[in-house]
Structure 1
Amino acid sequence: MTRTCLAVILAAGESTRMKSSMSKVLHPVAGRPMIAHVVESLVDAGISSVALVVGRDAEPVTSAAKRGDIDISAFLQTERLGTGHAVLAARQAIAKGYDDILVVFGDTPLITAAPLTAARKALAEGNDVVVIGFRTADPTGYGRLIVENGELLAIREQKDASEEEKRITYCNGGLMAINGEKALDLLGKIGNANVKGEYYLTDIVEIVRAGGGKAIAVEAPEAELMGCNNRAELALIEAAWQKRRRHELMVSGVSMIAPETVFLAFDTEIGQDVMIEPNVVFGPGVTVESGAVIHAFSHLEGAHVSAGATVGPYARLRPGANLGRDSKVGNFCEVKKAEIGAGAKVNHLTYVGDAFVGEKTNIGAGTITCNYDGVNKHVTRIGANAFIGSNSSLVAPVSVGDGALVASGSVVTEDVPADAVAFGRARQEIKPGRAKILRDRYQAEKAARQK
């Protein structure tokens, strides 16, 4: 779209119903602040200029909204006198002269680019005000959109609606597009002759019509306009986001046995023919390539899983975990900031952190890379085709060469050359008959204590 557009994001609410120490627009949905979801939709709609109206937590809200491909200017709203007053807090930005002014809310993270684009298209067709509405089975509490012959006549609040108007199921979603040339004039005409003495943006519909202009409504799915006022609504928004994203992934070729138990982050990337078993959680920064399998009850964050690799069940991949092609990280294993080579196996009850594991190496059950000395982290390097026996501790910094073998139960503190065998354990001794002597002694001591 060649028309210029300024999006005004209203994010200055006090968020009192959230019962939180931070602004509600900072609360995360799918692992990132809800306001960042709104900004992403604006970018998807081709909008590159944003006026962010802030109040509480102004600096962190502005920081959460910013990204490299959009110009964001923050404007502080010092008084709370209604939505019309809030938009005018960005008067300086509006006055620069844009074809379109788009008003959105910072607490509607489910909005997509489609209705925003539709509203701008309607402005391009000659309308002066475009309200984004939705249809609902239960309109109670919402402002009704009074439409006649395709034109929007008014937005009637529930308390002011007639019985006939209350039966209207087409409702105001709050988002609005305004002709940029007329925006400041129209906004300036909004009065506050109401019980609360506030300036309501919705009054702009009747104002523009009174001046000979045209207002219409465009429709969006109800879920996309869901706002957030408390923790219960935040949970509903999270559930709706997750359901939508799961569906997108499954349609793209990802298999989920029990999709309702899989939780995704805003940036989770999953390739075709990936199988995800029940009760899997993806934190931010995860990529899973095609053909991989994520078994049940696994948790992944900041990790890359290459094609054909398998994870879990009950595995944890922490930031920096990079699994090579056809590698395996099995049950009750944790990998952090480690490269697991192609075809390597980390199958049971193992911690691998700050490490490099070569191709086709086998890490036995109960192995630990001892990477932390209480102050600094150190690196363990294990070559290709090596074998680390069960219950071994590799004390970093240390390296194990290609083809080397570490005997089970070893504590390795020195580098192991390629193709060598390392034993790092005490020699076993046998004391015949000593077990019976010890049992008799212990039982006698116990009996003495009980007298």
Structure 2
Amino acid sequence: MSQNTKRAAVILAAGQGTRMKSPVPKVLHTVAGRTMLDLAIDAAEGLGCDRIVVVVGAHSPQVGETARARLGAENVVIQDPPLGTGHAVLAAKDALAGFDGQVVVSYADCPLIDTSVLKTVFDLADTADLAVLGFTAADPGAYGRLIIEGDNDLSAIVEAKEASLEQLAITACNSGVLAADRATLFSLLGEVTNANAKGEYYLTDVVGLAKGCGLKPKTCFVAEDDVIGVNSQAERAVAEAIWQTRRRNVLMRDGVTMTAPDTVFLSWDTQIAAGVIVEPNVVFAQGVSVDSGAVIRAFSHLEGAKVGSGALIGPYARLRPGAQIGRDAHIGNFVEVKNAKIGDGAKANHLSYLGDGEVGAKANIGAGTIFCNYDGFFKHRTVVGEGAFIGSNSSLVAPVNIGAGAITGSGSVIAQDVPADALAFERARQTEKPGWAKAFRDRKRAEKAALKKG
């Protein structure tokens, strides 16, 4: 294959996934916060595939809808009825009509097959008429066995149910992923029959057919973890754990400090720069980026947020979508930020809700401050100017603007704009009654003693 040869992918997503025991179709379950179907498409797109075709089943319309929303209706085909993997790939033939190049067959329920894995099998196709991706299994079990001769020359793939005792001892196993020229692939598939124990059309039969035509199938190997399939909730959890471990290791290799990496959970698109410190028990949901020098303290949850360099987040902080935290800003314990921009050096260190608003540089938000952003029908914005000081337990009723350098008194409900450098407070005048507390206690003790005697 020359560098100018086009590439296409056929992603099989027609499995029913009954072992997931979930109303959500199997391939729409997530790993690293992204559906397994999307991860398979991501891998193909990362490889620069000119065409991507997803084969779905009639039993899961949601899968078809998801694939069509991303790739367009012309790139989604239905396998109905389901008659095996060979039949599923053959269902994509018309969708690839006129395509001249190599085709890789991949699987939407194998979420760790990424671009690098697909590249391995495509690279092998440079020198082979048919390239098959294999792995060495710790426990071969029900995997199909690769019958290899010479220098990774592949003579056959034997399904475990039809293998001899000698063949069952082989640890070289079939991942199901293969690549070949489009014309070659569909020519071979046209010769596949269902003369087997399950009465299905096996994709693996193309290897033997290729050998019979004088073609040269070859195999290459990746790690077993790269190609694990997900057919149950437990297997999904295993895939998640592998993905998380790999991504943590990449980040730490690149300069991110994690004091307890096994307790940090990342999303597929999490971006953390070198020099960031992440303490234990932190969750990064989708859409988070953290600049160098920031510290994410323990038990914090971040989603859809951008954290500037040198910022301090947590412990026990929650950043929701739209949170933008400036350089050297502090978002402390039990502070929630949603759709709000926090300026450079601003501080909200304790027990506050900052929703739908903006806090200027070096402003200070006192403990217990609330941006009252919702009137039951609409969201409104609160703007706190640079260097402003919001007293503890203040309620800022949006829409409202607190001017630069202004101060609000503790315990105030601020519902009107405050000019720059002004003091605003709203609370009842304090009243004192000398001796009242002692008289109250004496009276109540007497009442309690009387009840005991009665």
Is the CA contact 2:56–2:63 (under 8 Å) kept in the aligned structure 1?
no
Secondary structure in 1 matching 2:245:
helix
Once residues 58 and 218 of structure 1 are traced to their aligned partners in structure 2, the CA distance between those partners, rounded to angstroms, is 35
Q: After TM superposition, give the deviation of residue 226 of structure 1 in Å.
A: 0.8
Question: 62, 66, 78: which one pairs with 1:63?
Answer: 66
| CA pair 60-198 structure 1, distance change in 2 beyond 3 A | closer
Is the CA contact 1:310–1:326 (under 8 Å) kept in the aligned structure 2?
yes
| CA pair 138-59 structure 1, distance change in 2 beyond 3 A | closer
Once residues 124 and 18 of structure 1 are traced to their aligned partners in structure 2, the CA distance between those partners, rounded to angstroms, is 38
- For 1:47, the equivalent position in structure 2 comes to 49
- For 1:133, the equivalent position in structure 2 comes to 134
Q: Counterpart amino acid of 2:348?
A: V
- For 2:250, the equivalent position in structure 1 comes to 248
Secondary structure in 2 matching 1:124:
coil
Secondary structure in 1 matching 2:204:
helix
Q: Counterpart amino acid of 2:155?
A: L
Once residues 311 and 81 of structure 2 are traced to their aligned partners in structure 1, the CA distance between those partners, rounded to angstroms, is 55
Q: Counterpart amino acid of 2:145?
A: R
Q: Counterpart amino acid of 1:338?
A: A
Question: 257, 260, 279: which one pairs with 1:258?
Answer: 260
Q: Does 1:233 align with 2:202?
A: no
Once residues 64 and 269 of structure 2 are traced to their aligned partners in structure 1, the CA distance between those partners, rounded to angstroms, is 20
Q: After TM superposition, give the deviation of residue 249 of structure 1 in Å.
A: 0.8
Once residues 409 and 434 of structure 1 are traced to their aligned partners in structure 2, the CA distance between those partners, rounded to angstroms, is 24
Deviates more, 1:189-198 or 1:310-319: 189-198
Is the CA contact 2:77–2:95 (under 8 Å) kept in the aligned structure 1?
no
Q: After TM superposition, give the deviation of residue 337 of structure 1 in Å.
A: 0.7
Once residues 67 and 183 of structure 2 are traced to their aligned partners in structure 1, the CA distance between those partners, rounded to angstroms, is 30
- For 2:147, the equivalent position in structure 1 comes to 146
Structure 2 length as normaliser, TM-score?
0.95
Question: 357, 361, 371: which one pairs with 1:359?
Answer: 361
Tell me the matched-pair count: 449
Secondary structure in 1 matching 2:338:
strand
Q: After TM superposition, give the deviation of residue 182 of structure 1 in Å.
A: 1.6
Is the CA contact 2:74–2:95 (under 8 Å) kept in the aligned structure 1?
no
- For 2:282, the equivalent position in structure 1 comes to 280
Question: 197, 213, 216: which one pairs with 1:214?
Answer: 216
Question: 223, 226, 232: which one pairs with 1:224?
Answer: 226
Q: After TM superposition, give the deviation of residue 449 of structure 1 in Å.
A: 7.2
Secondary structure in 2 matching 1:181:
helix
Is the CA contact 2:351–2:368 (under 8 Å) kept in the aligned structure 1?
yes
Once residues 74 and 199 of structure 1 are traced to their aligned partners in structure 2, the CA distance between those partners, rounded to angstroms, is 20
Once residues 123 and 276 of structure 1 are traced to their aligned partners in structure 2, the CA distance between those partners, rounded to angstroms, is 42
Q: After TM superposition, give the deviation of residue 219 of structure 1 in Å.
A: 0.9
Is the CA contact 1:3–1:100 (under 8 Å) kept in the aligned structure 2?
yes
Once residues 258 and 53 of structure 2 are traced to their aligned partners in structure 1, the CA distance between those partners, rounded to angstroms, is 40
Once residues 346 and 235 of structure 1 are traced to their aligned partners in structure 2, the CA distance between those partners, rounded to angstroms, is 36
CA deviations on 1:82-124 (whole Å, 9 max, x unpaired) are: 1011111112023323321211111111112223223222223
Q: After TM superposition, give the deviation of residue 60 of structure 1 in Å.
A: 4.3
| CA pair 61-28 structure 1, distance change in 2 beyond 3 A | farther
Question: 372, 378, 385: which one pairs with 1:383?
Answer: 385
- For 1:174, the equivalent position in structure 2 comes to 176
Is the CA contact 2:67–2:76 (under 8 Å) kept in the aligned structure 1?
no
| CA pair 57-136 structure 1, distance change in 2 beyond 3 A | same
Q: Counterpart amino acid of 2:131?
A: V
Is the CA contact 1:407–1:423 (under 8 Å) kept in the aligned structure 2?
yes
Secondary structure in 2 matching 1:394:
strand
Structure 1 length as normaliser, TM-score?
0.96
CA deviations on 1:207-247 (whole Å, 9 max, x unpaired) are: 11111111111111111101100000000011111111111
Once residues 17 and 138 of structure 2 are traced to their aligned partners in structure 1, the CA distance between those partners, rounded to angstroms, is 27
Once residues 390 and 26 of structure 2 are traced to their aligned partners in structure 1, the CA distance between those partners, rounded to angstroms, is 50
Is the CA contact 1:62–1:74 (under 8 Å) kept in the aligned structure 2?
no
Percent identical pairs in the alignment equals: 53
Q: After TM superposition, give the deviation of residue 61 of structure 1 in Å.
A: 4.3
Q: Does 1:410 align with 2:407?
A: no
Output the aligned Cα RMSD.
1.8
Is the CA contact 2:365–2:392 (under 8 Å) kept in the aligned structure 1?
yes
Consecutive unaligned residues of structure 2, counting only runs of 5 or more, are none
Question: 327, 333, 345: which one pairs with 1:331?
Answer: 333
| CA pair 314-102 structure 1, distance change in 2 beyond 3 A | same
Secondary structure in 2 matching 1:177:
strand
Q: After TM superposition, give the deviation of residue 71 of structure 1 in Å.
A: 9.6
Q: After TM superposition, give the deviation of residue 31 of structure 1 in Å.
A: 0.9
Once residues 357 and 273 of structure 2 are traced to their aligned partners in structure 1, the CA distance between those partners, rounded to angstroms, is 26
Secondary structure in 1 matching 2:226:
helix
Secondary structure in 2 matching 1:429:
coil
CA deviations on 1:25-49 (whole Å, 9 max, x unpaired) are: 1001111111111111111212131
Q: Counterpart amino acid of 1:18?
A: M
Deviates more, 1:295-304 or 1:393-402: 393-402
- For 1:312, the equivalent position in structure 2 comes to 314
CA deviations on 1:174-196 (whole Å, 9 max, x unpaired) are: 11112222222210111011122
Deviates more, 1:406-415 or 1:286-295: 406-415
